[in-house]
């Protein structure tokens, strides 16, 4: 142990988690978390409030805490609009807010899917920030002229931690101090993998390029670079080094130490299949997002809107807890005797169906049991992810290990059924906060000023478990037969 500590933050959809680790070994020293409000439209102040509670639960960041650097991983794509006084112009529209589905379709019509994929690595869907800007231009046009800066959740929280904020709260609204990193910038739809595309920002907002030039976009801090140091506030003292931070999926890749052949399957609010790559990708089908990672490489992502909350919904239907749902699911046969859940409970992004709803198919007297409903829920959610894995493979991703992470990976049923649905063994690293860990590693990297991220050996979470099982192709076959029926 070095005695020097670093903090990593995961400001995710449902909560804020803070880990404090030893800068040299990476050993976990303290952690804390706090919930975020429900909903797909959230005032950023709620992220700050949750951060302050989570940081306090993690022992605080005060001068005597030993924390010398901090970085923030965050839910991607959320649109934070600020005016010249640093005031939030409207609640942030989150990645899972699908009201901009028509705006996404319009943007794709205007340029063509292939041109978008070439320009920014992704074809716009409702999740991407640029579609939310178009929605504002079309539905809240009075706001457009007041936009002085556009930021993402991790950018805004980093800025607040640095000590900046709205003038009305007595803070310095220095918009020029906003920072981001390649990974999060690459999810906006107006960053061309090495520079902002002001023309696409202008297109999103329906303004001319001169106007788009005047809007502050966060400075893109390079991997391992420091974004600055904190100014000092009630929660965070002055002089703490700020790492660049990252989009949560890039943060998880860094936290897991993913290399070629590793594919992470994250079951959080979003379901994410991701792999690091040496080259950018441009999937004109729109199934795979070509983002950047947090180390200077790239990240291929297949993302669904429906993952852990499908299990939460099944628990609510069946009136059971997590353990109860697993027991029920494991009590029915593979394929749930023909009962299939297409789990588009929040609309869907992959495939692009922002207005879809979920549906059960194949319900008969014989399979109308809690066990079958539980089984179909777990299998339906996993089938959505398996489709995402296929899309990544079609883009050339190499699949060596499958690593299952996120809150849903704690489910015994998910662990046991995933290998049969994916047709491959699955590794489950010890339960942990891999996004926050990745951010902590970034913080240590920025603090060291080294060329490469630190190699951490202070493992603390227990063994990685391997799950295997006979492939059950019938599960995916019957899912594929009804998936597109609506
Ligand atoms: N044992 C468990 N089994 C299944 N799901 C779980 C379990 N524990 C937590 N979860 C689910 O994990 C989700 C939160 O996971 P997390 O990865 O933190 O999400 P996010 O990053 O989107 O905020 C919640 O929907 C919660 O119900
Ligand atoms: O939209 C994406 C990635 O493109 C999501 O992965 C969000 O980044 C939210 O992540 P969670 O809060 O569900 O972990």
Ligand nearest to the CA of 412: 1
Query: Residue 63: its pLDDT value, please?
Result: 87
Tokens representing 308 are 């852990």
Neighbours of 50 (CB within 10 A): 24
Which ligand gives the minimal distance to the CA of 302? 2
ipTM for the complex shown: 0.98
Is 76 annotated in a binding site? The answer is: yes
pLDDT (0 to 100) of residue 247: 98
From 71, 68, 70, 57, select the one nearest 3 (Cα to Cα). Answer: 68
Query: pLDDT value at position 343?
Result: 98
Nearest ligand, measured from the Cα of 132: 2
331 Cβ contact list (under 8 Å, min separation 6): 371, 374, 375
Give residues (CB < 6 A) around ligand 2: 12-13, 75-77, 95, 127, 187, 247-249, 268-270, 272, 289, 301, 303
pLDDT confidence of residue 118: 98
Instruction: Report how far ligand 2's centroid is from the alpha carbon of 384 (Å).
Output: 15
Distance 267 CA to ligand 1 centre (A): 7
pLDDT of residue 410: 97
Cβ neighbourhood burial of 210 (10 Å; 0-12, 13-18, 19+): exposed
Could you list the mean pLDDT of each consecutive 10-residue stretch along the chain, which spans 486 residues? Answer: 89 98 96 98 98 98 95 98 98 98 98 98 98 98 98 98 98 98 98 95 98 98 97 93 98 96 97 97 97 98 98 98 98 98 97 96 98 98 98 96 97 98 97 96 97 84 93 98 90
Interatomic CA distance for residues 330 and 59, integer angstroms: 40
Probe target for ligand 1 pocket from 408, 411, 438, with the most ligand atoms within 8 Å of CB: 408
Could you give the CA distance from residue 256 to residue 432 in angstroms, rounded to a whole number?
A: 10
Q: What number of helices (H) and strands (E) belong to the chain? A: 16, 22
Q: Which of 193, 262, 270, 181 is nearest to 225 (CA)?
A: 181
pLDDT of 462: 86
CATH of domain 5-244: 3.30.420.40
Catalytic residues: 248
Q: What are phi and psi for residue 374, nearest 5 degrees?
A: -65, -45
CATH architecture of 257-424+456-485: 2-Layer Sandwich (3.30)
Measured in angstroms, how far is the CA atom of residue 95 from the centroid of ligand 2?
Answer: 7
Q: Which residues line ligand 1 (CB under 6 A)?
A: 12-15, 268-269, 308-309, 311-312, 322, 406-408, 410-411
Q: For residues 480 and 474, give the distance between their C-alpha atoms in angstroms, rounded to a whole number.
A: 10
Question: What whole-number distance in Å separates Cα of residue 177 and Cα of residue 165?
Answer: 10
d(CA 407, ligand 1 centre) in Å: 3
Q: Where in the chain are all domains bearing CATH 3.30.420.40? A: 5-244, 257-424+456-485
Residue minimizing CA distance to atom 9 of ligand 2: 75
Q: What is the rounded distance in angstroms from the CA atom of residue 190 to the CA atom of residue 198?
A: 7
State the closest ligand 1 atom to the C-alpha of 267, by its place in the atom list counted from 1: 17
What count of Cα atoms within 13 Å lies in the side-chain half-sphere of residue 245? 34
Of 296, 263, 284, whose CA–CA distance to 122 is shortest? 284
Nearest by Cα to 108 from 125, 86, 91, 90: 125
CA 406/CA 426 separation, integer angstroms: 14
> How far is 137 from 107, CA to CA, in rounded Å?
13
Annotated binding residue 139: no
DSSP 3-state of 45: helix
Residue among 272, 286, 436 whose CB has most ligand 2 atoms within 8 A, to mutate: 272
CA–centroid distance, residue 325 to ligand 1 (Å): 13
């Amino acid at each position: 142990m070095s005695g020097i500590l670093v903090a990593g933050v995961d400001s995710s959809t449902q909560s804020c988690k803070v880990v404090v680790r030893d800068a040299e070994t990476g050993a976990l020293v303290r952690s804390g978390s706090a919930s975020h409000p429900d909903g797909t439209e959230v005032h950023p102040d709620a992220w700050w409030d949750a951060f302050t509670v989570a940081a306090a639960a993690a022992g605080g960041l005060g001068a005597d805490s030993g924390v010398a650097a901090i970085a923030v991983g965050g839910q991607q794509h959320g649109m934070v609009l600020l005016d010249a006084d640093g005031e939030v112009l409207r609640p942030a529209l989150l990645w899972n807010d699908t009201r901009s589905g028509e705006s996404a379709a319009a943007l794709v019509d205007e340029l063509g899917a292939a041109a978008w994929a070439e320009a920014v690595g992704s074809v716009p869907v409702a999740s991407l920030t640029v579609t939310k800007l178009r929605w504002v231009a079309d539905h809240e046009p009075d706001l457009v002229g007041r936009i002085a800066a556009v930021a993402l959740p991790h950018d805004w929280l980093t800025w607040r931690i640095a000590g900046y904020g709205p003038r009305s709260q007595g803070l310095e609204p220095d918009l020029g101090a906003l920072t981001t990193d390649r990974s999060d910038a690459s999810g906006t739809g107006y960053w061309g993998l090495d520079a902002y595309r002001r023309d696409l920002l202008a297109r999103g907002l329906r303004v001319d390029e001169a106007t788009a030039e005047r809007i502050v976009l966060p400075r893109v801090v390079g991997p391992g670079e420091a974004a600055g140091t904190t100014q000092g506030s009630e929660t965070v003292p002055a002089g703490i080094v700020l790492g660049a931070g990252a989009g949560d999926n890039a943060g998880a890749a860094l936290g897991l130490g993913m290399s070629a052949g590793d594919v992470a399957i994250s079951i959080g609010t979003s379901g994410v299949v991701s792999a690091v790559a040496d080259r950018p990708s441009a999937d004109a089908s729109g199934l795979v997002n070509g983002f950047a990672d947090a180390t200077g490489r790239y990240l291929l992502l297949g993302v669904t809107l429906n993952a852990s909350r499908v299990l939460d919904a099944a628990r609510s239907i069946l009136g059971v807890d997590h353990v109860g749902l697993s027991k029920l699911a494991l009590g029915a046969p593979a394929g749930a005797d023909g009962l299939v859940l297409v789990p588009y409970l929040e609309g869907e992004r992959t495939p692009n169906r922002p207005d879809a709803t979920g549906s059960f198919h194949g319900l008969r007297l014989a399979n109308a049991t809690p066990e079958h409903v539980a089984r179909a829920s777990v299998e339906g959610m996993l089938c959505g992810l398996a489709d995402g894995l296929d899309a990544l493979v079609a883009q050339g991703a190499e699949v060596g290990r499958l690593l299952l992470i996120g809150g849903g990976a704690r489910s015994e049923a998910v662990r046991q059924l995933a290998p049969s649905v994916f047709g491959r063994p699955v590794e489950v690293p010890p339960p942990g906060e891999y996004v926050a860990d990745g951010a902590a590693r970034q913080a240590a990297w920025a603090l060291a000023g080294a060329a490469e991220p630190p190699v951490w050996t202070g493992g603390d979470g227990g063994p990685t478990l391997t799950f295997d099982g006979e492939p059950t192709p019938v599960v995916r076959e019957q899912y594929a037969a009804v998936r597109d029926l609506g």
